Structure 1
Amino acid sequence: MSDVTDPPSMDPHNLSEPLRRALGDRYLTYALSTIMHRALPDARDGLKPVHRRILYAMRELRLASNGGFRKSAKISGDVMGNYHPHGDAAIYDAMARLAQDFNVRYPLVDGQGNFGNIDGDNPAASRYTEARMTAVAEAMLEGLTENAVDFRENYDGTLTEPVVLPAQFPNLLANGSSGIAVGMATNIPPHNISELCDACIHLIKTPDARDDTLLNYVPGPDFPTGGIIVEPPENIATAYRTGKGGFRLRCRYEVEDLGRGQWQIVITEIPYQVQKSKLIEKIAEAIQTKKIPILADVRDESADDIRMILEPRSKNVDPEVLMGMMYRHSDLEVRFSLNMNVLINGVTPKVCSMKEVLRAFVDHRREVLQRRSVHRMEKIDHRLEVLEGFIVAFLNLDRVIDIIRYDDDPKAALMREDWGKTHVRAMDEADYVSPAPGEGELSEVQADAILNMRLRSLRRLEELELLREQSALMEERAGLEDLLESEDLQWTSITEQLRATKKQFGKDYAGGARRTTFAEAGEVEEVPIEAMIDREPITVVCSEMGWIRAMTGHIDLARELKFKDGDGPRFIFHAETTDRLLVFGSNGRFYTVSASALPGGRGMGEPLRLMVDLPNEVQIVRLFIHRPDRKLLVASSAGDGFIVPENDVVAQTRSGKQVLNVRGDVTALICHEVDGDMVATVGENRKVLVFGLDELPEMGRGKGVRLQKYKDGGLSDATTFDSAQGLSWLDPAGRTRTETDLTEWSGKRASAGRMAPRGFPRDNTFT
């Protein structure tokens, strides 16, 4: 017995290949499946497979637009079981969207029940809703039984489904589409059917028409929710020519007069695909965070139509200015991106221009016309063959009856009989050429038709009807032959079909008129917030812990106020509602707060850190009213500083504006208005230095230069003063002391200085 074991037999189903190639092949298969069978629409009928299968399944269920409704669960179940082997929830969501008139310009499904709303609420469960097709969907399916398109087997090979629908109108542009595939996406806005039909007719008459010429017929999208497009015409032309671009879309509003100078804005149309409930939430949040200080309130009074109310804070506000701010801070203006990435012939993904998409549609319509014409000719030929047999039977009625009564196999006997030209004895109308297989013989089809003929049809009148029908069919057949042989006749027929479609779904159709209009952007100039707010006196109060409020009127600054436990006053000064306040933090950043945005003085106020992005570890160094064209002295605890124009420190965002650069343990310490021509500094070592203001540079941002030199410690305070009036400070007794002879303390900038004069405050500050 041999010790050598046989090698293991190779399993033909267990093959090895490099991981890189295996992953690449499988991912490519997945990518192609996603692109072709899920995410991108077909340029011919504008549908994705799931939508096409939904419409086909509804047709198979005989859910005509003038018929009854069926449960949505039944429809989605049939689609899933017969054609689309995916989740029924996804199928129902796709079907429900086809019924939403705020999402689809021309709904393809007529829904009964809760199919969602523009607030973003979801449809009811499929067991609670019912649906049927709309007239628009029926126009998409017309000709399906006439061999207009190819059919393919469904996923399990038990049924067949259409590869594409005949589509009487360019549904891709009429209803738009959106989807995300692997490595590509599509986003196409809806358009008006009447305009698209006109563009197609023009393209048929002028095949080499320029892209810009088509804009005379299709000026832009027509959204189901209306709105106003404010995109410049040249940008729209570029988008349609390249297949990529975008459209700025605004809401539609009107100013409603309330009397006595009061008014409010009523929004009647909101931009496409904007959920009304989320829009109102965002506007309310903007009001709460004071992003739109001139807006007092927003409320929803919508019923069947959109009616959103915007209340201004003051009747002096310009409505256009208010709407300009609303466009910038809310979704009352959106940008709809155009990416016309579609499947050409259902196979090749391509970013197309509008002309290419319309060309794909009209070429598809021509193919549909040819296939339907050929199919009709085949039906006519079959009917003419049957009519020929009927007429032969009428002209030889006695012989036919004889054969049927006495022959054992009447069908074979009828086919064997040589009828010759016995029918010539009939009227002149019977001048025709027999389509029978042989001279004077009946075909199997004719024999079957004669045997299945009713006795009541054996009348003279019926014979005349048959002759007239035969004549009409032969005339129709001749017309179809001419149509198939002439390209011009085909395009003429397609043009007539498009005109009929335009008439059916045009302005007289429910919702067929254009909803979206065009206008210039009309950019509103930036108007200072102060100019739009009533000017009223207030008293700003900020506590040590950073809680800020605005008391009505100019109260006594020495008045005792209430604060939270453990808190006390820090800043208190008179201001007006039109003022802007500057906050200087220990991180060297300036923050800007509108006085009109401060909370009222009835409570304890709100934390200033919530109104601006002031970190918790940063202390408030200074809070004061902004005065344009003033200059500030800023300095750090290390003794570095400079002069900065006050206009340069105003921040436009919540995050503030960095002015004084500090690092490590160094913090911003000083911020004083520049008043005079001299600078005085005092260090933690109680040494005072006085030097000329001209020795400090004027900067917009930076670390600055050394103000005073220290061996130990740092800067305690710094101020500016007029040399002619002298330097003043409060002595320990609270009396103001002024020193005009400052020779002892004068020196160059960055000197060490001399000890402070007798009576200088113990806290080493000038104020």
Structure 2
Amino acid sequence: MHTEGERLIPINIVDEMKSSYIDYSMSVIVSRALPDVRDGLKPVHRRVLYGMYGLNVFSNRKHLKSARIVGDVLGKYHPHGDTSVYDAMVRMAQPWSLRYQQVDGQGNFGSMDGDPPAAMRYTEARLRKISDEILADLDKDTVDFQNNFDDSMTEPTVMPTKIPNLLVNGASGIAVGMATNMAPHNLSESIDAIVAYIENKEITIDELMKHIIAPDFPTGGIIYGYDGVRDAFHTGRGRIVLRAKVGFEEIGNRNAIIVTEVPYQVNKAEMIARTAELVKDDKIPGIYEIRDESDRTGLRVVYELKHDAIPNVVLNMLYKYTSLQTSFSVNNIALVKGRPIQLNVKDIIHHFVDHRHEVIVRRTEYDLRKAKERAHILEGFMKVIGTQDDLDKAIAIIRHSANPAAAKEGLIQEFDLSDIQAQAILDLRLARLTGMELDKIRAEYEEIMTMIKDLEDILSNEPRRYSIIKEEMLEMKEKYGDERRSVIDYSGGEMSIEDLIPDEKVVLTISHAGYIKRTSLSEYKIQSRGGVGNRAATTRDEDFLEYIVAATNHQYMLFFTEKGKCFWLRVFEIPEGSKTAKGRAVQNLINIEPDDKIKAYIRTDDLKNTEYINQMNVVMVTKNGTIKKTSLEAYSRPRTNGVNAIEIRDNDQLLGARLTNGTSHIMIATKNGKCIRFPEEKARAVGRGSIGVRGISLEKGDEAIGMIVVNDLENDTVLVVSERGYGKRTAVLDYRETNRGGKGVITLNVTEKTGNLIAIQSVTDEDGLMIINKSGVAIRMGMDEMRVMGRNTQGVKVINLKKNDEIAAIAKVEMDSDVAEVIEEGEESTEVNTAPDSNNPEFSEVPLTGDNAISNLGDPEVLRKIEEEEKENNSGETPESSEEKSED
């Protein structure tokens, strides 16, 4: 039963649900979850800023209790829970959440580990300087205001911001039926893009991307691959892969992976806990211990590895299974005139510039209105107090009037004033009636008339308005711009990296123990003339620089291991190190097995050059005398885990690999003193999977010890050395050309006195040689010390060995002529003492430790100076610590 007078309206529940849900979703979309394209703020953030503006907590005032600010925002503008307001304000103050914070917090505002902030009664806040720019000109009628929730006051619908907030701070929010996730960008880059857009409205997105390169996250990290960035800029949607910034260190005798920056929005504590679980479950083998060593100076997470673990392999597992690699899905949805629209980067810039243009028009109109009002009053002053007679007349009218209204009426009639002018005269203080004040009034009037003219010019001149936007933008860049934090690793994606990395010359140095680094060629050029030269690269004990080659960033290094695998590194992927740095162990850069060893390094030109890769061949030789020639084309598709370069059977191993040009000659030597020479055409090219062909026929118990490739038959000579210290140099032409697979001819008469042959090298007078004994002594000699002699002789004693000592290895110190030229130009640097030194005494013998390994072994004076310099540099550090320093 229903009471009298009550009316029931039957409605369809489906229609009611539809309309109610649409109302609710529109409210969420417009008034809660999505930012406005113009100022990049959601209502709650706008209200927090406006509430702080109302409380006058600017960047130059003292902090105010957060609870006071939150209470004000709740009571005046935002009728929701206090936690929603406080949480929003806390986020605006966190350096890891916003690229450019808007609130300056004092107290505990949470941490990257997900720790909650202190309650609002304990913390304090004020606006940051950059927020003053977001609120600038708010009092000049630059934006529309609307009533608050109870119509008792008004609040701005948008901020007149000078900061392109949507671009630089991004936004994320889940509405109904849609969501937004916008990445933060660098302010300097964003402003460069905005300026470029103002200068040319028809600019393409690709041209804008030369200015605004990629997102720039507050926590830094590495943007891995560029395709997602390009998609996001062009369409407003894209998936950006983020990686932590990682380095390798040696801690004690263990390798360690050091994380110094994590991807955006990653909870560090959760990431470490999750990784620890995976290690416990054996999902990620190889990790010995995880430590969080972060402190107030910065983030540092240490993954200490087990002895047999390969850092690169462990790192790839961490990327795969933990938040060391995450993805950020860009979805640029923002409110344009109250409607949610998906925007590309040019749309965002376009709407921001339009907003700034409107703000400048409205600000100028306001200033003009105020200037005209003031000019009107000054005109009244000049009419009334322009001369002494007028002034006396005005004073008389005021004195004889019964009340202010009569006085005003009298002034209006006598001087033809407006109501406003007459009131201003009545409000004048007597002090303003002096002659000096009258001059001031006239000067102010002239100034205001000039200003009015200028403001009218701004309003009538659109190009000028845009140039004002540009000037203000550049001023913001000057004040708040900073370096970008997120690094872009273009090689992660499909983008052609050649467009992005200059193909400049670098010097690659590889030590005997496999430490590699690249150094810009310019580092060698800037040394001053004379003097001892700079301190050379710190190498480890019993190590020295073996290869010094000039390369360019686009070239490749191929690494061949004794198990017959091939790995690649682009030259730009090799870590950069100064001249004094030790470099990084190659094992840490490629996924090589723990029990495998690198046997050969080959530098090649760009593997995308089809003509080059089809013309060049890789020739390999194994201990059992097998030779294999394969076109370089077969090795032109790099894979992270390497490829099989040659099939290695039991009891065999790869000895070396060289690049040939199709017309080279190949020489293989065996430990019993035999050597064969044949043109490379005799070995037909085979596929990468095959095992190769016989290079030299071995007698029982014999084995190959090395191969050389000869390109200059006239001038190259062959050096062979035996383990008891005998060796000799012979002209290549002394070895007759034969067919592949023969037994070869005698290269050195092997006797008990000489011991087995252990090395063969192709040398010229300019080359330097390092001889390493089993006892750890290194001898340096220049090849010009050794005369060329006949083939079938025992050779000469290259080195006097102590009792029972033998030669372990010889290494030609290879240096490109390009590098040598540049270094000679600079000065006699100790770095280059790995190259032959014509002033060397015949042989120098020095225990092979530390820097001596590559210093000028022949010159005690130089050695003394280097030692002194070392003492000065290290000032009490152990050699290990100075090595670690240089590696960093």
Q: Is structure 2 residue 425 aligned with structure 1 residue 450?
A: yes
Q: 1:267-304 CA deviation, whole Å, 9 max, x = no partner?
A: 11111100110011011111111111112111001111
- Are 1:99 and 1:115, in contact at CA under 8 Å, matched by a contact in 2? yes
Once the two structures are TM-superposed, the CA of residue 231 in structure 1 deviates from its matched residue by: 2.1
| Corresponding residue to 1:391 among 382, 403, 407 | 382
Structure 2 residue corresponding to 1:408, chosen from 402, 413, 435: 402
Aligned residue in 2 for 1:467: 442
Q: Structure 2 CA distance, aligned partners of 1:340 and 1:418? A: 61
Gaps of 5+ in 2: 494-566, 569-587, 597-888
Q: Secondary structure at the match of 2:125?
A: strand
| C-alpha spacing 1:416/1:455, structure 2 compared with 1 (3 Å) | closer
Structure 1 contact 101–224 (Cα < 8 Å) conserved: yes
- Alignment partner of 1:516 is 2:474: no
The alpha-carbon deviation at position 263 of structure 1 amounts to: 3.1
Q: Any idea what the Cα deviations from partners look like across 1:571-625, whole Å, max 9, x if unmatched? A: xxxxxxxxxxxxxxxxxxxxxxxxxxxxxxxxxxxxxxxxxxxxxxxxxxxxxxx
Q: Residue 531 of structure 1 aligns to which amino acid in structure 2?
A: E
Letter matched to residue 145 of structure 1: D
> What SS does the corresponding residue of 2:351 show, helix, strand or coil?
helix
- Structure 1 match to 2:686: none
Deviation per CA, 1:658-698, whole angstroms, max 9, x where unpaired? Answer: xxxxxxxxxxxxxxxxxxxxxxxxxxxxxxxxxxxxxxxxx
Change (3 A) 1:374 1:24: same
Shift of 1:181: 0.5
CA distance in 2, matches of 1:444, 1:57: 37
C-alpha distance in 2, partners of 1:418/1:72? 54
Of 50, 62, 77 in structure 2, the residue corresponding to residue 56 of structure 1 is 50
The answer to whether the 8 Å contact 2:93/2:101 transfers is yes
Whole-angstrom distance in 1 between the partners of 2:300 and 2:182: 28
Per the alignment, residue 697 of structure 1 pairs with none
Q: Tell me, yes or no, if structure 1 residue 338 matches structure 2 residue 338.
A: no
Q: Which amino acid letter does the alignment assign opposite residue 11 of structure 1?
A: E
Q: Deviations over 1:239-287 (max 9, x none)?
A: 211100111111112222346x543222111111001100110111111
* Equivalent position to 1:476, from 443, 451, 465: 451
Assess if the C-alpha contact under 8 Å between 2:310 and 2:591 holds in 1.
no
Match of 1:221 in 2: 215
Q: Which residue of 2 aligns with 1:364?
A: 355
Please show how residues 662-741 of structure 1 align to structure 2 within 5 Å. none
Contact 1:415–1:442 (Cα < 8 Å) also in 2: no
Alignment RMSD, CA only?
2.4
Report the counterpart of residue 229 of structure 2 in structure 1.
236
| Map 1:294-305 → 2, pairs under 5 A | 294-304=286-296, 305=298
- Write the distance in 2 (CA, Å) between the matches of 1:340 and 1:514: 21
In the superposition, relative to structure 1, how do residues 496 and 251 fare at CA in structure 2: closer, same or farther (>3 Å)? same
Q: 1:251 maps to which residue?
A: 244
1:65-144 alignment runs, 5 A limit: 65-144=59-138
For structure 1, the 5+ residue unaligned runs are 1-5, 421-439, 508-512, 535-767
Q: Note if contact 1:403-1:410 (Cα within 8 Å) is conserved in structure 2.
A: no
Does the aligned pair in 1 maintain the 2:195–2:473 contact within 8 Å?
yes
Q: CA deviation at 1:169?
A: 1.6
- Secondary structure of 1:178's aligned partner: strand
Give the equivalent residue in structure 1 for 2:827.
Answer: none
Q: How far off is 1:66 after superposition?
A: 0.9
**CA displacement 1:514-540 (0-9 Å, x = unmatched):** 111111355999999993489xxxxxx
Matching residue's letter, 2:385: F
TM-score using structure 2 length: 0.54
Of 35, 40, 43, the match for 2:37:
43
**Corresponding residue number in structure 2 for 1:278:** 270
TM-score normalized by structure 1? 0.63
Instruction: Establish whether residue 177 from structure 1 lines up as the match of residue 152 from structure 2.
Output: no
> Which residue of structure 2 aligns with residue 17 of structure 1?
11
8 Å CA contact retained: 1:294, 1:532:
no
Letter in 2 for 1:472: E
SS of match in other structure, 2:380: helix
Change (3 A) 1:461 1:181: same
Q: Does residue 309 in structure 1 map to residue 320 in structure 2?
A: no
**Corresponding residue number in structure 1 for 2:523:** none
CA distance in 2, matches of 1:386, 1:183: 57
> What is the distance in 2 between the residues matched to 1:320 and 1:403?
95
**Aligned mate of 1:325, from 309, 317, 320:** 317
Kindly state the Cα deviation for residue 493 of structure 1 after the two structures are TM-superposed.
Answer: 1.0
Tell me the equivalent position of 1:496: 471
Tell me how far 1:322 sits from its aligned partner. 2.3
Distance (whole Å) between structure 1 residues aligned to residue 222 and residue 345 of structure 2: 21
Deviations 1:697-719 (A, max 9, x none): xxxxxxxxxxxxxxxxxxxxxxx
CA separation of 1:179 and 1:532: change in aligned 2, threshold 3 A = farther
| Cα separation, 2, equivalents of 1:533 and 1:111 | 54
CA distance in 2 between counterparts of 1:529 and 1:56 reads: 56
Distance 1:22 1:398 in 2: 77
Q: For residues 413 and 7 of structure 1, do their structure 2 counterparts lie closer, same or farther at Cα, with a shift above 3 Å needed?
A: closer
Who wins on radius of gyration, i.e. which is larger?
A: 1
SS of equivalent residue, structure 2 residue 593: helix
Secondary structure of the residue aligned to 1:15 is coil
Give the 3-state SS of the residue equivalent to 1:122 in structure 2: coil
Alignment partners' CA distance in 2, 1:142 and 1:77? 24
1:635 aligned partner: none
CA distance in 2, matches of 1:240, 1:60: 37
CA distance in 2, matches of 1:289, 1:520: 34
Query: C-alpha separation between the residues in 1 aligned to 2:230 and 2:246?
Result: 27
Task: Tell me how far apart the structure 2 counterparts of residues 204 and 443 of structure 1 sit (CA, whole Å).
Answer: 44
Q: Which residue of 2 aligns with 1:151?
A: 145
By how many angstroms is 1:187 displaced? 0.2
Task: Report the counterpart of residue 350 of structure 1 in structure 2.
Answer: 341
Q: What is aligned with 2:573?
A: none
- Corresponding letter in the other structure for 2:474: R
SS across alignment from 2:379: helix
Q: Is the 8 A contact 1:414 1:442 kept in 2?
A: no
Q: 4+ runs of 1 displaced by more than 6 Å? A: 523-530
Offset of residue 48 of structure 1: 0.4
In 2 relative to 1, CA 382–529 (structure 1 residues): closer, same or farther, beyond 3 Å?
closer
Q: Show the counterpart of 2:777.
A: none
Deviation digits for residues 349-384 of structure 1 (CA, Å, limit 9, x no counterpart) = 011111111111100000111111111111011111
Contact persistence 1:251–1:332 (CA under 8 A) = yes
What is the CA distance between 1:317 and its match in structure 2? 3.7
- Partner Cα distance (1:37, 1:468) in 2: 50
The 3-state SS of whatever aligns with 1:229 is strand
Cα displacement (A) at 1:416: 3.8
- Partner residue in 1 for 2:593: 531
Aligned-partner Cα distance in 2 for 1:121–1:200: 37
In structure 2, the CA distance between the partners of 1:103 and 1:399, relative to structure 1 (3 Å rule), is same
Change (3 A) 1:70 1:116: same
Relative to structure 1, the CA distance from residue 497 to residue 7 in structure 2 (aligned partners, 3 Å threshold; closer, same or farther) is closer
CA distance in 1, matches of 2:591, 2:50: 58
Please state whether the residue corresponding to 1:26 is helix, strand or coil: helix
